[in-house]
Amino acid sequence: MSILSDREYPRLGQMIVDYENPLKKMMEEFVPHSKSLSDALISLQMVYPRRNLSADQWRNAQLLSLISAPSTMLNPAQSDTMPCEYLSLDAMEKWIIFGFILCHGILNTDATALNLWKLALQSSSCLSLFRDEVFHIHKAAEDLFVNIRGYNKRINDIRECKEAAVSHAGSMHRERRKFLRSALKELATVLSDQPGLLGPKALFVFMALSFARDEIIWLLRHADNMPKKSADDFIDKHIAELIFYMEELRAHVRKYGPVMQRYYVQYLSGFDAVVLNELVQNLSVCPEDESIIMSSFVNTMTSLSVKQVEDGEVFDFRGMRLDWFRLQAYTSVSKASLGLADHRELGKMMNTIIFHTKMVDSLVEMLVETSDLSIFCFYSRAFEKMFQQCLELPSQSRYSIAFPLLCTHFMSCTHELCPEERHHIGDRSLSLCNMFLDEMAKQARNLITDICTEQCTLSDQLLPKHCAKTISQAVNKKSKKQTGKKGEPEREKPGVESMRKNRLVVTNLDKLHTALSELCFSINYVPNMVVWEHTFTPREYLTSHLEIRFTKSIVGMTMYNQATQEIAKPSELLTSVRAYMTVLQSIENYVQIDITRVFNNVLLQQTQHLDSHGEPTITSLYTNWYLETLLRQVSNGHIAYFPAMKAFVNLPTENELTFNAEEYSDISEMRSLSELLGPYGMKFLSESLMWHISSQVAELKKLVVENVDVLTQMRTSFDKPDQMAALFKRLSSVDSVLKRMTIIGVILSFRSLAQEALRDVLSYHIPFLVSSIEDFKDHIPRETDMKVAMNVYELSSAAGLPCEIDPALVVALSSQKSENISPEEEYKIACLLMVFVAVSLPTLASNVMSQYSPAIEGHCNNIHCLAKAINQIAAALFTIHKGSIEDRLKEFLALASSSLLKIGQETDKTTTRNRESVYLLLDMIVQESPFLTMDLLESCFPYVLLRNAYHAVYKQSVTSSA
């Protein structure tokens, strides 16, 4: 049963046989023209090899070849119905129209020929001459007949046919395409489920491909070359579906070629050979040459076996087909003893056999013959317009892969006599294929981005900051308080969007997912395609676009504003990123792509200072914000570090800050930051922090150099109070030293928060590795070489573990190599720096902001951060200069305690207002240091003073609160 209706497509081959007599007359009338035609073809044989034909000459040559076709192809005695089943209707129309234009006399004498001619004129308004050049048939015929006497009736026929073509051809072909879409879909579905049917139904496959190809080319040719009464008939938004099913049928033929070969090899050897042998045996007359040829046919087919297919043997029946042409020539001469016209069954059988041989060795050539659409190469504008229409219609986007697949056809339109155009056509095929795949990926990316936006909005509703209103409403409702005249409208709870009362209700998210699944079907349809020896992978286009968009989205979601110094909280960004990643993870349900690779490529780049395109990353944005905004406001006295809360907190000031420091620096936010930046990003943050510390240390060294003589004397005179007092008055920039050391302490306190958060995150993700690193660090022998120990510290620091000596700080300070200063001098400056800080501590007691607050376990002016600064700066400097860290800190403690004990004897209340709060710094320094002990402090500073100091500050705190 044919898949195509007889009403839609008459069997043109059989029609030609029925018109045997009129065609014979037509050919008789054509005889006078044959000599000039032969001369033209002979002259062209010398021209073609030189490849220097002009456009007009090429067009004329094509026209002559079309005209010459009826003399050979329309001989009823040499044709069977089978080849005509998949013969191009466009070619048939050319033969009919051109043939009757040249042999127009028969139109006045034979009604059947006239009806055939009218049918062709009513179906089209133009025919292809060469590629995108067309021949307007009505105008040409009318211009010819208007100059011939007695052809007024034919002119009227042409005008009527033209009107019919303009009025009805578009709708007729539109319905044909509609029928073919459903027919090809059914055929492709059946063959996909039962590929074994490709053998017996091969003819129907090639018929379907041929008819669909003709309708597509008809639309392409007429879309811009026909006066349209109904423009909609020439805009087919479903053309992609028809092309897609053509490609699916072609893919089935290529994939299951061996199945078809097995079937037809058995057919040729088991049936065709037997029938042909019987027909040959029944011939009454059979000359020797003809007998040898036909015997070779039988022998060739009989020798075939399925094993040849299984062994992968390459078949070649071109010789057999040439012998059949030779046999037709032998039997077509006027005095042939064996006339093929008298043995129709033999001719039909041989045509059938020839078709069967093509199913064994010429499947690719058959696909080109019946479904080549390389003409799209010359209709680029229409081609691109069809593609855009396809993407705009969600139901058709699943077929959009048909357009890049068509680009694989383009190279078949190159001509061996014009090799120089091969590169131009190849470049066009590559550029179009690339453009189509890129646009498909962009469309999918945009849909995914819209879905991600929706999901991020839903995730945002679950953030803690939105629960205040809900809690407030619940409390007010419980206490029955009136919130207003009409009452505050109750806020919808997250998740309401998932509750549906009607299955017909379609949300925007539903539409986006539907459109995405349709488009992803197309992207996932083929793993790769080869166009002009270039391999294209549609999924890689999507992967590339997802990486680019994911990168931009992550950076965009930080909402960093350089002008106002605003940025998203790390926890909110992390929530949005996770929502985004959840959507991207679901893409694997639609397309076979490795989304983990996308995550790794994008997120790892975000842990660096710049991405692969040289653009800022979230690491650089957050590092810049924390350094230039948060920590700078700490230095300005607007923010303080509260050790009890492990966070930076805004201080009450006249100019309120635009952000709440606690919301960016508490432990949950720092953990979120660590999740986002990862170990590499946190390492970059640490290095940036250390660079700022390094610049502060460089300034401190300059201040030491300015006071080097005084400090050298004070270093050895700490047990002489009067001399120390006199020397202290000669010191300059005391406040600057303390301020810079405090800044260093603040930065190190922030880094300790970041390191602790990193350790917590890594302990969650890689607990066994972190515990191994921690165990390794805790068991370094004291006698271990410092270089080896620093390597262990560097490993530990990368995992967020605290170290006795900060390796990042050591590296940062090591880079400060001053010229013309010996190592001994550098070491002396480092020692005197510690002296400078120690003797300067008493001046802090006069500062109003130096009061210790038990609630925050620190001082509002952040001087409690000095403990961390002193210990870590000393450890780093004396590691670099290979000095004894413990000895130098003992010296510092001795100088500091001596200086602080001195203020205990002061009577001026202004200079001693926060004496007890400053005393506590000594305890903090010892508690912070892995090199100092409380016993050592007790030997320098009586513990009773510390105890009384704690009592005093707590008592003062209670009094202030009251």
Q: Is the confidence at residue 414, as pLDDT, over 90?
A: no
If you average pLDDT over residues 790-805, what whole number do you get?
Answer: 92
Residue tagged 């579905």 (tokens): 189
Q: What is the pLDDT of residue 3?
A: 34
Q: Determine contact, residues 348/80, Cβ cutoff 8 Å.
A: yes
Number of H helices, E strands in the chain: 43, 8
Instruction: Give 101's pLDDT tier (boundaries 50, 70, 90).
Output: confident
Considering only residues 498 and 135, tell me which one the structure prediction assigns the higher pLDDT: 135
Q: Is the confidence at residue 33, as pLDDT, over 50?
A: no
- Report the alpha-carbon distance of residue 234 to residue 170 in Å, rounded: 6
Task: Identify each DSSP E strand in 114-250 by its residue range.
Answer: 126-130, 133-136
Q: What percent of the chain stands above pLDDT 70?
A: 89
Q: Determine contact, residues 880/916, Cβ cutoff 8 Å.
A: no
Instruction: Give 499's pLDDT tier (boundaries 50, 70, 90).
Output: confident
Considering only residues 736 and 28, tell me which one the structure prediction assigns the higher pLDDT: 736
SS3 assignment, position 24: helix
pLDDT tens, 74-88? 333 374 546 677 788
Instruction: Give 486's pLDDT tier (boundaries 50, 70, 90).
Output: low
Q: Comparing 262-266, 502-506, 905-909, which segment has the lowest mean pLDDT? A: 905-909
Distances (CA, A) of 200 to 134, 191, 212, 426, 859: 38, 11, 20, 36, 92
Judged by phi (left if over 0) then psi (alpha if -120 to 50, else beta), residue 323 lies in alpha
Considering only residues 910 and 567, tell me which one the structure prediction assigns the higher pLDDT: 567
Q: Determine contact, residues 239/397, Cβ cutoff 8 Å.
A: no
Q: What is the pLDDT of residue 4?
A: 36
Report the 10 Å Cβ neighbour count for 124. 26
pLDDT tens, 330-386? 888 877 788 887 888 888 899 999 999 999 999 999 999 999 999 999 998 999 999
Indicate the helix (H) or strand (E) that contains 530: strand 529-531
pLDDT tens, 525-574? 999 999 998 999 999 999 999 999 999 999 999 999 988 889 999 999 99
- Report the alpha-carbon distance of residue 16 to residue 755 in Å, rounded: 89
- Report the alpha-carbon distance of residue 581 to residue 599 in Å, rounded: 8
If you average pLDDT over residues 212-237, what whole number do you get?
Answer: 84
- Report the alpha-carbon distance of residue 225 to residue 666 in Å, rounded: 72
Instruction: Give 104's pLDDT tier (boundaries 50, 70, 90).
Output: confident
Quote the DSSP letter at residue 195. Answer: G
Q: Determine contact, residues 308/315, Cβ cutoff 8 Å.
A: yes
If you average pLDDT over residues 207-212, what whole number do you get?
Answer: 93
SS3 assignment, position 342: helix
Q: What is the pLDDT of residue 564?
A: 87
Q: Determine contact, residues 316/365, Cβ cutoff 8 Å.
A: no
Residue tagged 């006249």 (tokens): 654
Considering only residues 356 and 462, tell me which one the structure prediction assigns the higher pLDDT: 356
Q: Determine contact, residues 551/605, Cβ cutoff 8 Å.
A: yes
The pairing of strands 126-130 and 133-136 is: antiparallel
Average pLDDT, the chain: 85
Q: What is the pLDDT of residue 82?
A: 64
How many residues are listed for the chain in this entry? Answer: 962
SS3 assignment, position 253: helix
Q: What is the pLDDT of residue 588?
A: 92
- Within 662-733, where are the H helices? 662-665, 667-706, 708-715, 721-730
Report the 10 Å Cβ neighbour count for 94. 23
Q: What is the pLDDT of residue 355?
A: 93
Q: Is the confidence at residue 954, as pLDDT, over 80?
A: yes
> Could you give the angle at the alpha carbon of 394 between the alpha carbons of 390 and 400, nearest 5°?
40
Indicate the helix (H) or strand (E) that contains 640: strand 639-642
The string of DSSP codes covering 133-171 is: EEEEHHHHHHHHHTTSTT-HHHHHHHHHHHHHIIIIIHH
Mention every residue, 6+ apart, whose C-beta is less than 8 A from residue 864.
Answer: 641, 643, 745, 852, 857, 858, 921, 924
- Within 411-565, where are the H helices? 421-460, 467-479, 508-523, 538-557
SS3 assignment, position 938: helix
Quote the DSSP letter at residue 398. Answer: G
SS3 assignment, position 378: helix
Q: What is the pLDDT of residue 488?
A: 59
**Encoded amino acid at 139, one letter:** K
Q: Radius of gyration of the chain from Cα atoms?
A: 46
Q: Is the confidence at residue 14, as pLDDT, over 70?
A: no
- Report the alpha-carbon distance of residue 122 to residue 138 in Å, rounded: 10
- Report the alpha-carbon distance of residue 503 to residue 192 in Å, rounded: 33
- Within 564-666, where are the H helices? 570-586, 595-606, 618-625, 631-635, 662-665
Cα–chain center distance at 143 = 57
SS3 assignment, position 836: helix
Q: Comparing 235-239, 336-340, 632-636, 843-847, which segment has the lowest mean pLDDT? A: 336-340
Q: What is the pLDDT of residue 920?
A: 92
Structure tokens at 162: 């033209």
Report the 10 Å Cβ neighbour count for 688. 18
- Report the alpha-carbon distance of residue 135 to residue 532 in Å, rounded: 31
If you average pLDDT over residues 937-945, what whole number do you get?
Answer: 88
Q: What is the pLDDT of residue 912?
A: 80
SS3 assignment, position 685: helix
Instruction: Give 158's pLDDT tier (boundaries 50, 70, 90).
Output: very high
Q: Is the confidence at residue 328, as pLDDT, over 70?
A: yes
Quote the DSSP letter at residue 269. Answer: I
Among 901, 948, 950, which residue's Cα sits nearest to residue 927?
950
Q: Is the confidence at residue 672, as pLDDT, over 90?
A: yes
Q: Which of 230-244, 487-501, 689-703 has the highest mean pLDDT?
A: 689-703
Q: Comparing 717-726, 806-815, 927-936, which segment has the lowest mean pLDDT? A: 717-726
Among 382, 380, 393, which residue's Cα sits nearest to residue 429?
380
Q: Comparing 221-235, 579-593, 728-742, which segment has the lowest mean pLDDT? A: 221-235
C-alpha neighbours within 13 Å on the C-beta side of residue 190: 14
Instruction: Give 822's pLDDT tier (boundaries 50, 70, 90).
Output: confident
If you average pLDDT over residues 686-714, what whole number do you get?
Answer: 93
Full-model pTM: 0.81
Q: What is the pLDDT of residue 819?
A: 67
Instruction: Give 57's pLDDT tier (boundaries 50, 70, 90).
Output: very low
